Amino acid sequence: MLINDTNVKSFRMTKVFRENTERINACDFNKNGDLLISSSDDDSIVVYDCEAGLPKRPIPSKKYGCDMIRFTRSGEQALHCSMKVDGKIGDSIRYLSLSDSKYIRYYTGHTKKVRSLAVSPIDKSFLSASADRTVRVWDLRSALCQGLIITPGNPVVDYDPDGLAFGIGIDSQIIGLYDIRNHEKGPFEMLKYECEGEFEWTHLKFSPNGKMILVSTNTSLILLVDAFSGVLLHTFTGHQNTKNVPLEASFSPDSKYVFCGSTDGRIHVWRTMDGEKLTTFTTDSSSDCIQCVQFNPKSFMLATASANMVFWLPPVDDD
């Protein structure tokens, strides 16, 4: 199905999963789009079969909690952050095998909460950004940090879709662009933004075509930036965020649309071409805080997460 205005407007709630007792704080599709994984404040991880439309057995993470769940490139493992401090070593990142629900490795070094995780699209590296004002470069095969970048403020991070560069959002006003092979030399480009109001950058995402960068905040403001020139293309507003939640906005696979939830149970959609709002979807409950919205990379399907996971599909043609 083509991703266009008409078809995007046709999304309907198709399945509601009530596997969690508390807020789902993150979700992620694997690269093939046949699996979705979520982490929740109730200390559980759930994997969903997108083709069958069914959840698999929850994986408990009671001792350390789970946040910012991400599939690795293979889709057979996942990374997630701890929500509970691990004694003296601070927040750690955990590498989970999904086939047997066992941890393969732990990555320690951050001394405060990990705010952002990004997995390389081309190899076994990943990035973590922490409230301790550092970004660390890791290799899945080693518990030792492969690189350390000290930042002047709280960072968020993401790889570009080619995996050759990455961006660090720093102190809610600067984006530094780094060459993954020479990151120790510092950024090759620094982009600075000044927007009115008090807010904190909570997520940074490159568009699938690599031409734009999406910056989510803890208010009802989203920034869309040209990844090459640094020009601020659009600001997306109008979605409610009265609780300063780190709402995670995301792109459609063709980079033409941006989706974001809200604290009043609505999902908002904007066009990246002109910055105009296309439509708004409404869930069954106005009290739901939709923190995560993700578009399936291979199928015309949307997933939204509050306390429940919801799959959205276009209407079925009876003909």
Q: pLDDT by residue (tens digit) across 119-158?
A: 999 999 999 999 999 999 999 999 999 999 999 999 999 9
Q: Which residues pair with 313 in a beta bridge?
A: 12
pLDDT above 60: residue 318: no
Confidence of residue 288 (pLDDT cuts 50, 70, 90): confident
pLDDT at 37: 98
Distance of CA 224 to the CA centre of its chain: 15
Mean predicted confidence (pLDDT) in 295-307: 96
pLDDT at 200: 94
Average pLDDT, the chain: 93
63 C-beta neighbours (distance < 10 Å), count: 9
Per the structure, how many domains does the chain have?
1
Q: At 254, which CATH number?
A: 2.130.10.10
Confidence of residue 73 (pLDDT cuts 50, 70, 90): very high
253 C-beta neighbours (distance < 10 Å), count: 18
Residues 88-105: b if buried by 16+ CB within 10 A, e if exposed: eebbbbbbbebeeeeeeb
Report if residue 294 sits inside a domain: yes
Mean predicted confidence (pLDDT) in 2-29: 96
What are the strands, taking DSSP E only, across 185-314?
Answer: 189-192, 201-206, 212-217, 221-226, 232-237, 250-251, 257-260, 266-271, 277-282, 292-295, 302-305, 309-313
pLDDT at 317: 67
pLDDT above 60: residue 169: yes
Report if residue 91 sits inside a domain: no
Domain that includes residue 298, residue range? 5-38+121-313
Weakest-pLDDT range from 64-68, 209-213, 291-295, 299-303: 64-68
Q: What is the pLDDT of residues 273-284, one digit of tens each?
A: 999 999 999 987
Report if residue 241 sits inside a domain: yes
Report if residue 104 sits inside a domain: no
Report the chain's terminal Cα–Cα distance, integer Å.
16
* Angstrom distance (rounded) from CA 261 to CA 95: 28
Q: What is the DSSP letter of 184?
A: G
Mean predicted confidence (pLDDT) in 180-209: 92
**What's at 198, amino acid-wise?**
E
* Angstrom distance (rounded) from CA 287 to CA 146: 43
Report if residue 153 sits inside a domain: yes
Q: Pairing mode, if any, of strands 232-237 and 250-251?
A: unpaired
Percentage of the chain exceeding pLDDT 70: 96
pTM (2 d.p.): 0.94
* Angstrom distance (rounded) from CA 62 to CA 161: 33
**Helix, strand, coil: what percent of the chain each, to 5?**
5, 45, 50
Report if residue 16 sits inside a domain: yes
pLDDT at 91: 77
Report if residue 97 sits inside a domain: no
Report if residue 202 sits inside a domain: yes
Confidence of residue 89 (pLDDT cuts 50, 70, 90): very low
Burial of 133 (0-12, 13-18, 19+ CB in 10 A): middle
